[in-house]
Amino acid sequence: MHIETLKIFCDLADLCSFSKTAEHHLLSQSAISQQLAQLELAHKCQLVDRKKRPIELTKEGRLLYKAARDMLDRYEQLKSELAAVKSSAGERINVAAIYSIGMHTLPDYVKTIMVSYPNVNVHIEYLSANRIYELVLSGDIDIGLVAVPKRDKRLEVYEFENEPLVLACSPTHPLSREPQVDIHQLQFERFIAFEKNVPTRTWIDSILERYNIVVRPVMEFDNVETVKRAVEINSGISILPQPAILQEVGSETIKAIPFLNENFVRPTGIIVRKGKILGQAGRYFIELLRKKAK
């Protein structure tokens, strides 16, 4: 048995779908079926009841799933331990952050750790939230930074910064002259939104829904940088985390206006795979992030 085969089997058991498992592993459904058939041939038993929808594991399948999950967890722990041994020759911390955190909040923290650990290589990638969760769980990324973190039994989730949310608009927009805005003033305004699969979009939508506000989304983007560009040319207004627009506010291309209703914030979090073994610098980096957040 290969590790990848066990991963495919466990994902098939979790997703209860050949098509979803194939999509997750970038394989065809036929390839997934062949992997399952090889496992069943090797153990001389049926592991999945294919007649049921969604599919279900047989008694033998449940036994294999439990054992396979234990083996995969131990294998990930082994990889972490081997990586920790190698790190004695020069530690590398692989960090992935969503664009707004990585570009606007994280740099100061990176400077701090580089002063304390000048020989450590801090590698940072800017990725979507879904990709960050995937890479942290696979062990390819040590530390992830995301907005509106979701709970997962396979992850350690720590609070990071609560970022103030403000109205962002062009200096030529009528609301730009207001020192504060009532959220009800956003009713039916042209709105630059995040795409629907972005957690911040769900968070902002919940705020608007709580106040019974209906906006008119005219553009949707998957990252804050593109949202800002649309706001700058007055294509619409938006609600954005204040740290992400400090540069534009300073250059007076975007106005940031606080809300008078309440102090709206966007929670952010640090995610690490459970059982992940980090070197001394990696542990220090997490503590640094958590301490500053508090």
What CATH number corresponds to the domain at position 72?
Answer: 1.10.10.10
Domain span holding position 60: 3-84
- Work out the average pLDDT over 133-144: 95
Q: Are 132 and 270 in contact (CB under 8 A)?
A: no
Residue 131 belongs to a domain with what CATH number?
3.40.190.10
What DSSP assignment string belongs to 110-131? HHHHHHH-TT-EEEEEE--HHH
Regarding whether 129 and 146 lie in a shared domain, the answer is yes
pLDDT value of position 207: 98
Regarding whether 123 and 64 lie in a shared domain, the answer is no
Regarding whether 26 and 147 lie in a shared domain, the answer is no
Number of domains in the chain: 3
pLDDT value of position 1: 59
Regarding whether 80 and 169 lie in a shared domain, the answer is no
Last residue of a domain, one of 84, 99, 129: 84
- For the stretch 39-50, pLDDT in tens is 999 899 999 998
Regarding whether 261 and 168 lie in a shared domain, the answer is yes
Higher local confidence (pLDDT), 153 or 84: 153
Regarding whether 253 and 215 lie in a shared domain, the answer is yes
For the ranges 118-122, 196-200, 214-218, 267-271, the lowest mean pLDDT is seen at 118-122
189 HSE (CA, 13 A, CB side): 23
Regarding whether 277 and 156 lie in a shared domain, the answer is yes
Q: What is the pTM of this model?
A: 0.69
Last residue of a domain, one of 84, 114, 148: 84
Regarding whether 170 and 139 lie in a shared domain, the answer is no
pLDDT value of position 88: 44
Regarding whether 168 and 42 lie in a shared domain, the answer is no
Residue 92, pLDDT > 60, answer yes
Regarding whether 203 and 68 lie in a shared domain, the answer is no
Regarding whether 244 and 115 lie in a shared domain, the answer is no
Regarding whether 96 and 40 lie in a shared domain, the answer is no
- 119: buried, middle or exposed (CB in 10 Å: 19+, 13-18, 0-12)? exposed
- For the stretch 224-280, pLDDT in tens is 999 999 999 999 999 999 999 999 999 999 999 999 999 999 999 999 999 898 888
- For the stretch 104-131, pLDDT in tens is 999 999 999 888 888 888 999 999 999 9
